[in-house]
Amino acid sequence: MATTATFLAPTGFSIHGWSAKTKVGRGRRPCSIKSQQQQQQLEKEQDQQPTQSQTSIPPQQQEKARVQQQPSPQPMAKSKNMSREYGGQWLSCCTRHVRIYAAYIDPVTHAFDQTQMDKLTLILDPTDEFVWTPDACQMVYACFQELVDHYEGAPLSEYTLRLIGSDVEHYIRKLLYDGEIKYNMNSRVLNFSMGKPRVKFNSSQIQNV
């Protein structure tokens, strides 16, 4: 908790988790994404299947670290439409280090807006099993972005979110074995879920102890 708080404090993030979100109008790819999205939205509506309403994974994501370059996060977002009769589907994938929701979760107020199902929110390591540096977070974010781009057009279902979540978890384990992140020795539950620390592993210093 202490480590994430110091990281997050300058930009005013919340304490509990590190949420990676990107806004639509990122500096690098301004207009082409929007037209793609409109096309995706049209495709979404045309491809509605009668048995199961499926929407394709849109290219939008949300990223929190680039808040300065992007339109402000939605301060008026409130938790709404969470129950099933309002259409909230609670599409999510939750494993120990990766939680992906198909909703907009406000980083400050934790408002869970289920109507915005065109956004995917990634909450990274809420239990703080690892020590996260900003670079490592950026790498995980880049991997997440790549995966979502790869899965564009797939039906928006828990199955696809679980595939994405599992790929992100494998990527986090790769970061651990390469030494980019390490176990947090002050975590509440220290059970080395991604492998016990080993001596002379890949001939580089990986985990302390």
List CB contacts of 110: < 8 A, sequence separation 6 or more.
14, 16
Among 3, 14, 74, 95, binds another protein (CB under 8 A): 95
Instruction: Give the range of 24-32, 78-86, 130-138, 151-159 binding another protein by CB under 8 A.
Output: 151-159
- Residue 90 interacts with another protein (CB under 8 A): yes or no: no
Distance of closest approach, residue 91 Cβ to another protein, in angstroms: 9
Among 6, 35, 52, 68, binds another protein (CB under 8 A): 52
**CB nearer another protein, residue 13 or residue 130:** 130
Cα-Cα-Cα-Cα dihedral sign, residues 29, 34, 35, 39: positive
Distance of closest approach, residue 97 Cβ to another protein, in angstroms: 9
Q: Which of residues 180-209 bind another protein (CB under 8 A)?
A: 191, 193-194
Q: Are 187 and 129 in contact (CB under 8 A)?
A: yes
Cα–Cα distance measured from residue 114 to residue 89, given in angstroms and rounded to the nearest whole number: 8
Q: Are 129 and 184 in contact (CB under 8 A)?
A: yes
Q: Write the interaction track for another protein spanning residues 152-171; mark x where CB under 8 A is met and - where it is not.
A: ---x-xxxx-xx-xx--xx-
- Residue 96 interacts with another protein (CB under 8 A): yes or no: yes
Side-chain half-sphere of 181: how many Cα atoms within 13 Å? 26
Structure-block tokens of residue 156: 């928006």
Distance of closest approach, residue 6 Cβ to another protein, in angstroms: 28
